Amino acid sequence: MEWSQIAAWLAEHEWLRMILLTLARIIVAAALGGFIGYEREQSHRPAGFRTHILVAVGSALVMLTSVYIFEAYEGRTNMDPARLGAQVISGIGFLGAGTILREGFSIKGLTTAASLWAVSCIGLAVGMGYYAGALIATLVIYITLNFLKKFMEKGHTLKNLFIEVAELDETSKDIGVLMKKMKIDPDSVEIVYPGDSSMFGKKTMSTVLKIKLTNISDPEFKIFSEAVRAMQGVQDLYVN
């Protein structure tokens, strides 16, 4: 059977054509969203593989629904097919906000929130059948998340500072004041509580602050670490 015959047969069976079209676009949206989500999953981010798939599929479905409503009521109402899609773009913010976390002195999750918003736009594009735009955007987003991250970190020496503290609140406040005074911007600050073995492979006996630093010179780091070591409440300090 030639392609023209297949097209003619599908034209006669509109319901089947719609099912196949919907299936194809939903699968493409899931694949592209999952591609971005897998990178986030590998980076141990709060919104990973399944979350990005759901966002992409949901966005595609919204756009498919918009097209369906427009075609079903064409000529009978002045309906804008982009109206539902606009609500996805503005409404995805609540989900993105859930991935933004404040940890110690830093905020994490902004990139993941942005990737969720971008994946929702990919889903909308797929739902409209704009495959070229969706595919190009997916590749650009993946390159931005994966390769540009390595490029941005190139040239910066990563330093992990582990600080054992007796009193978390007071000592962390003093460390925060010191970092502000020295204009040090940490990449992240993590807290490991006594009995937790997730960071060291064995249970810690005291509370530990892990401060990740990249944009700091060796002399500045030496001054900072020595000042922290001299603080009251700091039991031990070591660098990895």
Query: CB neighbours of 109 closer than 8 A, spacing ≥ 6?
Result: 45, 46, 99, 100, 101
* Per-residue pLDDT band at 159 (split at 50, 70, 90): confident
Extents of the domains making up the chain: 9-153, 159-239
Judge contact between 171 and 165, C-beta under 8 A: yes
The predicted model scores a pTM of: 0.56
What is the spatial distance between Cα 69 and Cα 72, in angstroms, rounded to a whole number?
5
In this prediction, residues 53-69 reach a mean pLDDT of 87
Question: Given this structure, which CATH class describes domain 159-239?
Answer: alpha beta
Helix (H) or strand (E) holding 164: strand 159-165
For the segment 89-107, the average pLDDT, to the nearest whole number, is 63
How many angstroms separate the most distant Cα atoms in the chain? 83
pLDDT of residue 104: 46
Q: How far apart, in whole angstroms, are the C-alpha atoms of residue 175 and residue 227?
A: 9
Q: What is the pLDDT of residues 229-240, one digit of tens each?
A: 888 888 888 787
Q: Does the pLDDT value for residue 129 go beyond 70? A: yes
Q: Calculate the average pLDDT of the chain.
A: 78
